A = this chain, B = another copy of it.
Amino acid sequence: MSTSRIKVGIVGGTGYTGVELLRLLSQHPGVQLHAITSRKESGLPVADMYPNLRGHVSLCFQTPEDAALDQCDVVFFATPHGVAMQQAPALLQHDVRIIDLAADFRLQDTDAFEHWYKMPHSCPAVLRDAVYGLPELDRDRIRQARVVGNPGCYPTTVLLGLAPVLQAAQPLVDVGHIIADSKSGVSGAGRKAQVGSLYAEAGDNFSAYGVAGHRHHPEIAECLTRIAGTPVGLTFVPHLVPMIRGMFSTLYLRILPDALDTDFQALYENRYANEPFVDVMPAGSLPQTRSVRASNMLRIAVHRPAGSDTLVVLVVQDNLVKGAAGQAVQNMNLMFGLPETTGLQQVAILP
């Protein structure tokens, strides 16, 4: 094991983003897995909880006290909201960089954070220096970041699906009335024992949730406003799909009268021409979530049904990869000067 490898710690490796991080990092050529903490499971071999890791990960879960996380180069937090901000200041003092897969460092507006997550923010100073970890929007700042707030799964699809339009040189759409109809696989709810995520509840069933308000709404809105340079009105309705992984966002935008001649296909292709993990599909394409299953790719298709003034943008990703663990590794690669795609070029699993 080379000493030049990045020494990685994971806090809270028992959930789905945790096991997904382990899948990716255990095969990442530039990483040395140093420690995985779980107070509850301390002593248990990680591969006993996740038998897919048998033969790949030999670590046991450790208590935070035993894990010596301050010796890591980077620590991923795959924890409930509120954990990372408790531990961040101490780790930063040891020059450990932090990538939080929860929400602690996503929202610069601490009032919004407190409203949606029902807790005060314990380190607003750290938050101010934190960078929102969407590489396609903010690659350069991520490279320099000490703390990255890894984006939520829904925001990743909506923001990357809207960025080309909102960042265009002139106004193209009615930014006051954007609609994001999003659909997520059940793994997005995590590995928590809760009735709504049971097979017999979520299976053979389709439903909306959070229509009156969802935590990802302020996160999306804050970023949309930042990239559009103007307040953005967003209606966001998330839905639950009976599938394990996968996320699909259908975005509806009204094209402004002066912009009806825009070549939106070209706009998207140009915007993402050099992005390794954003695939603008050919005109007329109908992306499927399985085309990105277990990969870090996000695919976009741009439609304008019947030539109307409504633009329809279809976005797919794997909510656990580009929507969580894969994007976190992509951020790590940037922060440590590795090629951005290192350890992230798996082919999606189909069927």
Contact = CB atoms under 8 A, between A and B. Distances in A.
A310 B179 contact: yes
A51 B179 contact: no
B305 A19 contact: no
Contacts of A213: 305-306
Residue among A198, A213, A236, A243 facing the most chain B CB atoms (10 A cut-off): A198
Contact of A291 (B51, B198, B287): B51
B204 A52 contact: no
A242 B239 contact: no
A8 to B, nearest CB: 16
Contacts of A201: 191, 199, 351
A99 interface: no
A246 B289 contact: no
Interface stretch (A82-90, A108-116, A295-303): A295-303
A21 to B, nearest CB: 11
Contact of A200 (B50, B186, B297): B186
B191 A193 contact: no
A154 interface: no
A200 B16 contact: yes
A281 B45 CA distance: 14
A211 B56 contact: no
B237 A206 contact: no
Interface stretch (A58-66, A71-79, A125-133, A341-349): A341-349
Interface in A190-221: 191, 193-195, 197-209, 211-213
A143 interface: no
A181 B199 CA distance: 22
A197 B291 CA distance: 16
B211 A292 contact: no
A176 B246 CA distance: 33
Nearest to A347: B23
A235 B312 contact: yes
Interface of A: 16, 19, 23, 26-27, 50-56, 177, 179, 181, 183, 185-187, 189, 191, 193-195, 197-209, 211-213, 233, 235-237, 239, 241-246, 248, 250, 252, 254, 279, 281, 284-295, 297, 299, 303, 305-306, 308-310, 312, 314, 316, 320, 345-351
23 contacts: A19-B350, A23-B350, A27-B347, A52-B291, A54-B281, A54-B297, A177-B309, A179-B252, A181-B252, A185-B206, A186-B198, A187-B351, A189-B200, A199-B199, A199-B202, A199-B242, A203-B243, A203-B351, A205-B290, A206-B248, A208-B286, A212-B305, A239-B250
Q: Which 4 A-B pairs have CB atoms at the shortest separation, nearest pair first?
A: A52-B348, A51-B291, A186-B199, A52-B350
